[in-house]
Amino acid sequence: MHKGRKALAMLFALMAGVLVSAFVTVNQLPDELTVHESGSSRLSTVLPVWVDYTGEDAQSAQAKLFGVVGVKKVSIRRKEPRKVMLAGTLFGLRMYSDGVMVVGLSDFKSQGTEVNPAKEAGISGGDVIHTVNGKAVYTNRDFAAVVNDSHGNLSLELTDSSGRKKKATLVPKYSDADQCVKTGMWVRDSAAGIGTLTYIDPEKGIFGGLGHGICDTDTHTIVPIHEGEIVEAQMTNIRRGVRGSAGEIRGYLGSEAVGTLESNTVCGTFGYYTAELPEFPVYEVAMKQEVRPGKAKILCSVGTDGKPEFYDIVIDKINYSGEPAKNMIITVTDETLLRETGGIIQGMSGSPIIQSGKFVGAVTHVFVNNPACGYAVFAENMTAQGDGCLKEAD
């Protein structure tokens, strides 16, 4: 009797495990697959799932658990194979935002009373101010000039951190301490930094880098670009990453622009490479269903000579439907890279990932509590994002 109950309990536990795995698997499935030709693909999910798109004109297909049970309808998009040049070199970015970003609010005393005009007008950190009294503002100087010349209400057009447009009316007040009118907010108009250039499309002249967006250090929101440029960058030294503290590549930015920075998105920064094309290796862009857990390599520059080198990593996990810049979890296994950097450090974001001779992704984030591990974005998603936003810009 006791053995029967134990067996039954084990059976229920097994069934529960399968159900949980099936639930996780279905939630991992993509909504769309891009394919080069008719065929079928096994997806890298918790439980095995196949998608069969053998029909020449098939625009959708069933994702089937164990190749038998249909669990989701997936759109099929056909596209010719694409090749890009992989860089893995450091580059510098200089950018001015599309407006001025509100990075903080600060109360002050006016006629002996604590006030904050910006807060009273419904303005929050992360908002981007585009116009004041109908005049476009792109720099802190623009904004300060309009405020100082104002004699009454300011009519502002803004975009909040979610991208929603809004309007606000702000009444600056006289500061007892500073003896001038103030708005009660801090604004920022520019950003600069060092990252890794991921790829250049030699036919379109498009480049992509970082694999994630440039975010404001105070608001943690993506900075919208008004104009910007990319320059060469030179490493001076490395601060190794340790558990609890992310490392970083330290260096300086060159003075001569090698490209225009056009777009800052969740999947990277993009623009047009305007200098003479370097002799970078050419790789085919892998579709996301071609990426597999297992051994791979990253291409990055952590030496003072600035030359990119290949280092061993493992792709641990794949997620087709997660956050845009977190499609893969990777672990650095290369002893040389671990000795030099401790794993993934700031400045390595954008390092291209190669598996089975194809460009499969780019490094995006580090796990602060385990610097050998981090996230990566699919190459397919990154290149598609770059093409899409630059087409819109044109």
The answer on pLDDT for 90 being more than 90 is yes
End-to-end CA gap in the chain: 75
Name all domains of the chain by residue range, CATH numbers in brackets.
2-78 (no CATH), 83-94+190-387 (2.40.10.120), 107-183 (2.30.42.10)
pLDDT in tens, 139-173: 888 888 888 777 778 888 888 877 789 899 998 88
Tell me what percent of the residues of the chain surpass a pLDDT of 70: 91
Least confident of 51-60, 125-134, 272-281: 51-60
User: Which pLDDT band holds residue 18 (cuts at 50, 70, 90)?
Assistant: very low
User: Taking residues 7-22, what's their average pLDDT?
Assistant: 54
Least confident of 25-34, 216-225, 294-303, 353-362: 216-225
Q: Could you tell me if residue 350 is left (phi over 0), alpha (psi between -120 and 50 degrees) or otherwise beta?
A: left
User: Taking residues 300-313, what's their average pLDDT?
Assistant: 90
- Give the burial class of 117: count Cβ atoms within 10 A of its Cβ; 0-12 exposed, 13-18 middle, 19 or more buried: buried
Q: Count H helices, E strands: the chain? A: 5, 26
User: Taking residues 122-127, what's their average pLDDT?
Assistant: 88
Contact 27/6 with Cβ under 8 angstroms?
no
User: Taking residues 189-205, what's their average pLDDT?
Assistant: 89
pTM for the structure as a whole = 0.81
Average pLDDT across the chain, whole number:
86
Contact 103/125 with Cβ under 8 angstroms?
yes
Give the C-alpha distances (Å, rounded to integers) separating 173 from 137, 139, 142. 20, 22, 19
pLDDT given for residue 36 in this prediction: 85
